[in-house]
Amino acid sequence: MPGTCVIGLQWGDEAKGKLVDLLTAEHEIVVRYLGGANAGHTVVTGGEQFKLHHIPSGILNPGVDNVIGPGVVVNPAVILQEIDGLEQRAISVDRLKISDRVHLVFPWHITEDHLTNARLVGGENIGTTLRGIGPCYRDKVGRTTAIRLGDLFRSDFAERVERIVEIKRQQLSAFDPDIAGQLDAPAIIDEYRGYARRLEPFACDTTPWLLDAVEADRAILFEGAQGSLLDIDHGTFPFVTSTNSSGVGVAAGAGVPFKAVGRMIGVAKAYTTRVGGGPFPTELEDAMGDRIRELGNEYGTTTGRPRRCGWFDAVAVRYAARLSGVDEIALMMLDVVSRLPEVRVCTKYRIGERETGDFPSHVDDLRQVEPVWESFAGWETDITGARVWDDLPLAAQRYIQRIAELVGRPVTRVSVGPDRVQTIDVPLERTALEAGG
């Protein structure tokens, strides 16, 4: 049975964690394959809330194997806090495996992130999560100053850190000599040796293990992080993260063949949010944007930053769905727009006299577009108690079907609240595309 993948179709924070948690019941293995402590996956189960950064959401289901694949960058202090937090709440982490190929975030990466993030790109700050993600991936690609989890357990670890600290000191002194001088190799070696002792039971070469699982036809769920529009190659560069966070990155990050993914589920919110800098055509910089932020509690899981809010952008989501090879859509947080007097969707972009359904490759062009709106009278109903399609107001049903039509993919699930039970499976004949629009 080829695996299932859950991919964000916007700029992250699409509530993927909830969907992964729901799908975990049908899978034996959950794999996280990219990003690191920049991600914040919130899962609410049994009235309890869990916030995970590195560890796959499958950890909350006993009996499921959880894998952190080679494409992830791990901050050892943060992942150990996650492990401790889970154990304190009696959640076992025995079934967690971390690839010994993951790259490790070191203090200099976080320093570099702070120093470079302050520099403006085209007049605007990228607004990274300051977790050292970009600098760690930069070192991975550069190779000479990178350290992987497997290196922690080798006899030349200390020597390696000393050599890298020397290089980092030289590089950082160009920015700030005081900060460069604070890098203390012996202290870092001691600290990371402590982490090594605690992480050793989880570390292994997950690649052959996962390949065996693929060949044995085990049910695997790949848990995307961030969103397709933050993809380093296909997103709103340079206002992106440092990985292929769209569907194209799954095989590389997990270490499996493309054929291992048979079903791609795209996750989108019923509106749009973005954290950090970069163009956002449907952004609402007014009271309506504030209203959505409050109703949706749109504050970053990782950084607590208020998220920028706007209407659903069908041009952007359609692009992401096509790029990521999405088969079906899970539409999240419909309860939030259900409280509004009017709901809008951007159906096309207007550039001068021309209208287009294509998503521009350059952010300067994206900044110039004007959304073409389609407006819906709000249904202003509390739908958090809805459990089946027929519980939804007709206007909400039409909104869902119109989104499916515009994006060109069926909406098969709708979420009306944070809990597992607040989810509606859309009957096949109602998913718009099946219904012929």
Q: Which stretch binds ligand IMP (CB under 6 A): 10-18, 71-79, 166-174, 349-357?
A: 10-18
Query: Could you say whether residue 316 binds ligand IMP (CB under 6 A)?
Result: no
User: How are the residues of the chain apportioned to helix, strand and coil, as percentages rounded to the nearest 5?
Assistant: 40, 20, 40
Query: Could you say whether residue 99 binds ligand IMP (CB under 6 A)?
Result: no
Q: Which is nearer to ligand IMP, 125 or 207 (CB)?
A: 125
Query: Could you say whether residue 131 binds ligand IMP (CB under 6 A)?
Result: yes
Query: Could you say whether residue 246 binds ligand IMP (CB under 6 A)?
Result: no
Helix (H, G, I), strand (E, B) or coil at 344: strand
* Count of residues that interact with ligand IMP, criterion CB under 6 A: 21
Q: Which residues of 40-73 are buried (b: 16+ CB within 10 A; e: fewer)?
A: bbbbbbeeeebebbbbbbbbbbeebbbbbbbbbb
d(CA 228, CA 319): 9
End-to-end Cα, the chain, rounded Å: 30
Q: Which is nearer to ligand IMP, 12 or 255 (CB)?
A: 12
364 as an active site residue: the answer is no
Q: Which stretch binds ligand IMP (CB under 6 A): 131-139, 166-174, 380-388, 405-413?
A: 131-139
Shortest distance in whole angstroms from residue 78 CB to ligand IMP: 13
Using CB under 6 A, which of 3, 12, 58, 417 touches ligand IMP?
Answer: 12
d(CA 105, CA 207): 21
Query: Could you say whether residue 306 binds ligand IMP (CB under 6 A)?
Result: no
Q: Look at residues 324, 395, 358 and name the one whose alpha carbon lies nearest to residue 5.
A: 324
| Alpha helix stretches (DSSP H) within 377-430 | 394-407
Nearest residue to ligand IMP by CB is 276
Q: Which is nearer to ligand IMP, 27 or 32 (CB)?
A: 32
Using CB under 6 A, which of 28, 61, 125, 127 touches ligand IMP?
Answer: 127
Q: Which is nearer to ligand IMP, 255 or 277 (CB)?
A: 277
Shortest distance in whole angstroms from residue 305 CB to ligand IMP: 8
Under 8 Å between Cβ of 319 and 234: no
Q: How far is CA 377 from CA 248, 356, 389, in A?
A: 37, 25, 19
The neighbour count for residue 187, using CB atoms within 10 Å, is 11
Under 8 Å between Cβ of 239 and 233: no
41 as an active site residue: the answer is yes
> Would you give the binding string for ligand IMP spanning residues 202-231, x where CB under 6 A is met?
-----------------------xx---x-
Query: Could you say whether residue 270 binds ligand IMP (CB under 6 A)?
Result: no
Q: Look at residues 249, 247, 252, 245 and name the one whose alpha carbon lies nearest to residue 264.
A: 247
User: Mind giving me the DSSP string for 301-351?
Assistant: TTT-PBPEEE-EEHHHHHHHHHHTT-SEEEEE-HHHHTTSSEEEEEEEEEE
DSSP one-letter code for 307: P
Q: Which is nearer to ligand IMP, 11 or 399 (CB)?
A: 11
Catalytic residue among 41, 53, 103, 234: 41
Q: Which stretch binds ligand IMP (CB under 6 A): 123-131, 143-151, 317-325, 352-360?
A: 123-131
Q: Which is nearer to ligand IMP, 131 or 140 (CB)?
A: 131
CA atoms within 13 A on the CB side of 83: 19
Q: Which is nearer to ligand IMP, 11 or 349 (CB)?
A: 11
For β-strands 342-351 and 370-377, DSSP reports them as antiparallel
Active site residues: 13, 41
Binding site for ligand IMP (CB under 6 A): 11-13, 38-40, 126-129, 131, 133-134, 225-226, 230, 239, 241-242, 275-276
